Amino acid sequence: MNRSHEYKILALVSLLAIFSGDTIAGVTIYPIATKLDSHGNAQINVFTNADKTEFVKTLIKKINNPGTAQENEVVVNSTAGKGLMVAPAKFALSPGATRVIRLVNMQPVQTETLYRVYFESVNSLDQNAGQSEKQANLGVNMIWGLLVSVPPAQPKIEFTYNPVNFQLANTGNIHIKVSSIGICPEVNTDAGCTWSKEVKKAIYPGQQRALPAEIFNGKKYAAVRIKYTNWVDNTSGEKEFLK
């Protein structure tokens, strides 16, 4: 399965449930994907509709090579005072309670950085998250994976296009999301352009991704227009490349 960090996909697959017995209500987090603001902060809500007190512990992992076959996650030592921190890192939730959790980036980044924070229901706050030998004691061990995007202090969207292999190369410092591709008979105008659907996968800094070859088949064109969205400030933009 190709691992992508599209927010819509994450809304469906970030929840992991390991069933080992009777079902309980468990813990829920919202949202399941977030970005830090310009001050390096964000907040999420953790709540439960269980009829007993829930104990939750967190585990932070940094995502390397996102959206590629080489993608991997590395555990972050939050006590080192670098990178992402979660406050509180462990907590109890009484029945029906909601807890506000703070996410804080302790060190500015030059390039967008991705983390996944795991929230796991445990037997007690003395149990480490992911401590599998004790999981059998739970009716249901619920693990939520929260995707956290940390933008750089000065986000830049920059990318190039290679007309030979139809590839976009992200030369900026945040990921880009292509919203539409225009195949245009003339330069400097949208007139007569044929617009395609969005590219489904985000293109992260330093990555290249080929545009769908079928959108070029049989078409005579002078320029390719790329419409994109900026996830940091929720704006949109457009860039034109000559054939």
pLDDT tens digit sequence for 8-24: 333 333 444 333 333 33
Q: Which residues pair with residue 226 across a beta bridge?
A: 181, 239
pLDDT (mean) for 177-192: 93
Are 48 and 27 within 8 A, CB to CB?
yes
Cα 115 to Cα 76: distance, rounded to the nearest angstrom: 9
Contacts of 195 (CB under 8 A, 6+ apart): 180, 181, 182, 183
Global pTM exceeds 0.75: yes
Strand order in the sheet with 208-210: 159-162, 167-170, 208-210
In three-state secondary structure terms, 56 is: strand
Tens-place pLDDT, residues 121-152? 888 888 766 554 444 444 456 789 999 999 99
